[in-house]
Amino acid sequence: MNQSPPSFVGRRARSLRTARRGPARYSAFDLIRRGALGTDWPRSFSQPELRGTYDAVIIGAGVHGLATAYYLAANHGMTNVAVLDKAYIGGGGSGRNTAIVRSNYLTPEGVRFYDRSVKLYENLAVDLNYNVMFSQRGHLTLAHNDSSLRTMRWRAEVNKLQGIDSEVIDPDHISRLVPYLDVSPEARYPVLGALYHPPGGTIRHDAVNWGYARAAEHLGVHIHQYTEVTAIHVESDRVTGVSTNRGDIAAPVVVNCTAGWASTVCDLAGVRLPLITHPLQAAVTEPVKMFLRAVVVSGSLHVYVSQTDRGELVFGASVDPYPSYSMRGSLEFTEELAGHVLELMPSIAKLRVLRQWAGLCDMTPDYSPIMGVTPIDGFLLDVGWGTYGYKAGPVAGEAMAELVATGKTPEIISAFDLARFAEGRLVGEKGAAAVGH
Amino acid sequence: MIRIPCPHCSARNSAEFRHVGEAAARPDPSTVTPEQWRVYLYERSNPAGWITETWFHTMGCRRFITVERHTVTNEIRSVRPAGSSGPEPAEALSGRADAGSPDAGGQA
């Protein structure tokens, strides 16, 4: 274990001693024991000193950066790794998304990739010894017109060919799954059918971030919060390290996992990307009794709705119509979103909206991510995650870790390289990713 | 919400406009190399700061305008008809320039 000395004494020092023995293993027995004895829980993360040299530096402590660090340590034994973030763990898109996980995409490359992610999510709570509350409650994408019904059929066939549970169902079947949904022909946008994806569902995104961070740190990875990268050093087309507000780091590999801020970080290395950053707004209502089991998405109405385990309804929209790094909300958005939700479920008109927020989405021209190598040796990308980054966290981390450790691009992400824009190999996912959460 | 001081129609809600994209000069198709064309087609500076971009006033004058906007604060510091060179003179913008900032009052 590479634990640095405690930065201050007292509780932190005790927790570091615990960390040397390995973190407390969370279990029902431990919960009862600590509850009965009134003992404190050890801290999940420490605050290590910055080393001058790491084998790899990962920029961005969101789900992608933390998963990459975890799989580097767990699968490849690389533990001299730093994860840097200008703010705190999971404070960007990883803590702002609507936490929907699914794999019913449109292209075979996309379906295979996201399905691997769902499989990893299914076992994540056990792998990380952290309850990530993955609830595979089913995912419905509604079709309100013939062309979207046609796209649903197309997606269902591609999905089935890849072995994914996904089918088109009729309004009667939808009604049985989501009784509160207005599927009558009188609705303003009548529901003609839906793509039903039973393995899809929601997850507690903060738990995934914290679980990966805790497990990675246990394996020896350093997570440096409030450490902003101010420069990326490149010598004769090879990355040599980074400068941060806490000091310089030499590293042969630097991975950019910064999602919405990807263009600004790539600017430091002189790499230009085909990205445009848009805010995406979401909102949550006051909690009510459980009545909505499945995740309901309507591409035509630009809205997706799910109910959390606490009973709040989470609403998400499409991205704002112009690029911006502003994470302020707008009244037009909340009005439009609420109106569209009521068109689907008129009975919730009295529910009050509690909170509203926005996150940043780095949109690519083809709605697929950009992963892999760049013209600068050792500078790797895991960006372009647009509106679909969270569901890909585990598989992206696993694949990026393999790329860092072996130097070879894994087959599962080979279609998503930066060179595809020059070579005309775009992976068009707009039909399944534009509002399809 | 942001308000854009259209040079033809005065300050209007951004919902009246369509965002076209970062202002970029189109290379000459008869002489351009594939590499230059790729850069023009895909690469964006996407800065967290000042950007010069093109908007189209869909529900107003239906003309293209060039806007200088800060992408973090959404503040607008100049607008001019697309195709005209240089920022619009300050006096032409005065009286409605503050309407471009997100917190500005309601004069239109």
Q: Is residue B105 part of a domain?
A: no
Are A391 and A406 in the same domain?
Answer: yes
Q: Is residue B62 part of a domain?
A: yes
Assess if residue B80 is contained within a domain. Answer: yes
Pairing of strands A276-285, A295-298: unpaired
Three-state SS for A281? strand
pLDDT of B95 strictly over 90:
no
- Residue A369's nearest CA partner among A377, A380, A379 is A380
Sign of torsion over alpha carbons A395, A399, A404, A406: positive
> Quick check: is B61 in a domain?
yes
Domain of residue B45, residue span:
3-100
A406 in B contact zone (CB under 8 Å)? no
pLDDT tens by residue, A23-75: 678 888 888 998 999 888 888 888 899 999 999 999 999 999 999 999 999 99
Same domain, residue pair A265 and A147 = no
Give the helix, strand, coil percentages of chain A, each rounded to 5: 35, 25, 40
Claim to verify: residue A143 and residue A82 sit in the same structural domain: no
**Are A229 and A305 contained in the same domain?**
no
Model confidence, pTM: 0.88
> ipTM above 0.90?
no
With respect to residue A240, please indicate whether it lies within any of the assigned structural domains.
yes
What DSSP line would sit under A312-327, residue for residue? PEEEEEEE-SS-----
Which of A325, A333, A368, A423 is best to mutate for the B interface (most B CBs within 10 A)? A325
> Residues 6 or more apart from A220 whose CB is under 8 A from it?
A1, A2, A73, A79, A80
Residue A59 forms part of a structural domain:
yes
Number of domains present in the structure of chain B: 1
Mean pLDDT of A152-166: 95
Judged by phi (left if over 0) then psi (alpha if -120 to 50, else beta), residue A300 lies in: alpha
- Are residues A171 and A117 located together in one domain of the fold? yes
Residues of B within 8 A of A321 (CB-CB) are 14, 18-19
Q: Are residues A23 and A9 in the same domain?
A: yes
How many Å apart are CA A314 and CA A304, to the nearest integer?
8
Assign A304 a pLDDT band (cuts: 50, 70, 90).
very high
Domain with A26 in it: 1-39
> The domain that contains B67 carries what CATH number?
3.30.2270.10
Do A287 and A139 have their domain in common? yes
On chain A, the residues whose CB falls within 8 A of the CB of B47 are 263-264, 267
Residues A183 and A286 occupy one common structural domain = yes
Tell whether A351 is covered by a domain. yes
Please check the confidence at residue A348 and state whether its pLDDT lies above 70: yes
- Of A323, A341, A344, A343, the C-alpha closest to A280 is A323
The total of structural domains in chain A comes to 3
In a domain, B107, yes or no: no
Q: Is the dihedral of CA A371, A372, A373, A379 positive or negative?
A: positive
User: Are A269 and A226 within one domain?
Assistant: yes
- Which residues are CB-contacts of B2 (< 8 A; sequence separation ≥ 6)? B13, B14, B69, B74, B76, B100, B102
The reply to whether A437 falls in a domain is: no
